[in-house]
Structure 1
Amino acid sequence: MKADPAVQRRLLDLAEADAELARIEHRRRTLPEIAEIAAAEQNERTKRDAQVAVTTQLGDIDREVKRQEKEIDQVRARTEKDNNLLQSGTVAAKQMTDIEHEIETLKRRQGALEDDLLELMERREALEMDSQHADAELGKAEAAVVDATQRRDEVFADLATQEARATERRSAMLPEFPDPLLALYNRVREHKGTGAALLRSRRCGACRLELDRVVISQIKAAAADDVVNCEECGAILVRTGESGL
């Protein structure tokens, strides 16, 4: 294949635009903010689970408190009823003894229930503090996700601007290249990563390998408009005064 030497040299500009686009895409995929967001989201899920667990425990203990309070009210009501019956003077002596015994039993029962209720309230107070802590931790975790996401999006926006400029620059160059040369360049780039590179001091600018004497002799003997490729990586070798031929 043949192509004007000046056109071949322009392949270096095209290769640089493609390299810039590749760097942009690589950075987009490997931004540290992406891993940071994943870690922050995992932490947020952990903190949310902890908050839900504490909230569930609070709900359970609140129901237990209500049940305990209801039972205490029932015992008090029964005690009040028995006291009223005793004070009415309408009960027989034997029945009065039974009622007094029941009142004593109810008092002990009420005392035990009130002790249990006090313990429940102390547990609830501790859980309430745990809940406030869990809320604060979740808030921090959510803020970390928002912060990392915002920083990622800012970088993405900057990369998108750079990508648009490089793409525009590349598109403006394409009409300069004959279709066969451009097809060869794109094919090599697709398979090898770099479509064209400068031959500098007998070294390929793509694979960085120094070419042996036989290959250098062949390249030196080639016409200026001949398109030559690196035998190692396949990149189109652009020859200039720096090539060492």
Structure 2
Amino acid sequence: MRATPRQQQLLVELQDLDHATARLRRRREQLPERAQLAGMRDEYANAKSALMATQRELDVQSAEIARLESDTETVRQRRERDERLLSASTSPKEAQALQSELDTLARRQSELEDRELEVMEANEETRAGFDAAAAALADLDTRRAAVEAEIAEAERLIDAELAAAAEERAGLAAEVQGDLLALFEDLRSRVGVGAARLRAGVSEASNMALTPAELAEIRSAEPDEVVFCPQTGAILVRGFEE
């Protein structure tokens, strides 16, 4: 195949753009903020777990307080009933039984009230722990949102560079003759490099020096003859040896 030196040089410009595009895509995929965000996942899971654990503890304590309040009210009502019965009783035996039950109910009410006080104090501590866990989770949400915003902005900037590179590539490709461009694209898809410079006897496609025999053969070719890297098969573009 034959192509003017200018046509061949357009290929290395295309290849440079392809390399730049690949670097941009890798940079987009490997943004340091992505690793930062991934590192926050365990922290977020732990914070959420702590919040849920304290919420469950609050629920248990609230249920316990409600039960104690109900039991205390039942005992209080029973005492009021027995006190009415005692005040109206005319039987010494019945009065003695009522008084004994009143004493038992008084002790029971005292025990219930003491237990309720203990649970309420524990509930206050748990509530403080819940508030702290909720604040920690909210702070983490804020920090995570900030990192996500940084990622979005970085992606926006890189996408703009990718779009500009794609537009520039389309313009360059339009200048290349059809059969040469088709060969370049085929080589690029198969070997990863479509065209590379020959510089100081080194193929930039393989980063290896050509043998004297290989160099002699390439240098003897006409300027418009398309030559190839012996190691990779990529189009080797001359004119960069100085």
Q: TM-score range by the shorter chain?
A: over 0.9
Matching of residues 57-72 of structure 1 within 5 Å: 57-72=57-72
- For 1:16 and 1:91, locate their aligned partners in 2 and report how far apart those are by CA, in whole Å: 112
Counterpart of 1:128? Answer: 127
2:71 matches 1:76: no
2:115 matches 1:113: no
The share of aligned pairs that are identical, in percent, is 32
Code of the residue aligned with 1:60 in structure 2: it is V
- For 2:111 and 2:164, locate their aligned partners in 1 and report how far apart those are by CA, in whole Å: 79
Counterpart of 1:169? Answer: 168
- For 1:91 and 1:56, locate their aligned partners in 2 and report how far apart those are by CA, in whole Å: 53
Counterpart of 1:47? Answer: 47
Counterpart of 1:21? Answer: 21
Matching of residues 3-18 of structure 1 within 5 Å: 3-18=3-18
SS of the equivalent of 1:198 reads: strand
Q: Alpha-carbon deviation of 1:43?
A: 2.6
Counterpart of 1:223? Answer: 222
Counterpart of 1:85? Answer: 85
What are the Cα deviations for residues 112-141 of structure 1, in whole angstroms up to 9, with x where unaligned?
Answer: 111211121121011101101111110111
SS of the equivalent of 2:237 reads: strand
- For 1:189 and 1:98, locate their aligned partners in 2 and report how far apart those are by CA, in whole Å: 103
Greater shift in the superposed pair: 45-54 or 98-107: 45-54
Q: Alpha-carbon deviation of 1:167?
A: 0.7
Contact 1:201 1:243 in 2 (8 A): yes
Counterpart of 1:200? Answer: 199
- For 1:189 and 1:24, locate their aligned partners in 2 and report how far apart those are by CA, in whole Å: 18
Contact 1:41 1:145 in 2 (8 A): no
Code of the residue aligned with 1:243 in structure 2: it is E
- For 1:234 and 1:108, locate their aligned partners in 2 and report how far apart those are by CA, in whole Å: 98
Counterpart of 2:32? Answer: 32
Code of the residue aligned with 1:238 in structure 2: it is V
Structure 1's unaligned 5+ residue stretches are none
Q: What is the Cα-based RMSD across aligned positions, in Å?
A: 1.4
2:237 matches 1:243: no
Counterpart of 1:209? Answer: 208
Structure 2's unaligned 5+ residue stretches are none
Q: Alpha-carbon deviation of 1:16?
A: 1.4
- For 2:185 and 2:30, locate their aligned partners in 1 and report how far apart those are by CA, in whole Å: 25
TM-score (norm 1): 0.94
Q: Alpha-carbon deviation of 1:44?
A: 2.3
Counterpart of 2:182? Answer: 183
SS of the equivalent of 1:197 reads: strand
Contact 1:196 1:237 in 2 (8 A): yes
Q: Alpha-carbon deviation of 1:41?
A: 3.8
Q: Alpha-carbon deviation of 1:31?
A: 1.1
Counterpart of 2:139? Answer: 140
- For 2:203 and 2:14, locate their aligned partners in 1 and report how far apart those are by CA, in whole Å: 17
Q: Alpha-carbon deviation of 1:63?
A: 1.3
Code of the residue aligned with 1:31 in structure 2: it is L
- For 2:140 and 2:86, locate their aligned partners in 1 and report how far apart those are by CA, in whole Å: 63
- For 1:110 and 1:232, locate their aligned partners in 2 and report how far apart those are by CA, in whole Å: 94
Greater shift in the superposed pair: 149-158 or 178-187: 178-187
Greater shift in the superposed pair: 120-129 or 27-36: 27-36
Aligned residues: 242
Q: Which structure 1 residue ranges, 4+ long, deviate > 3 Å from structure 2?
A: none
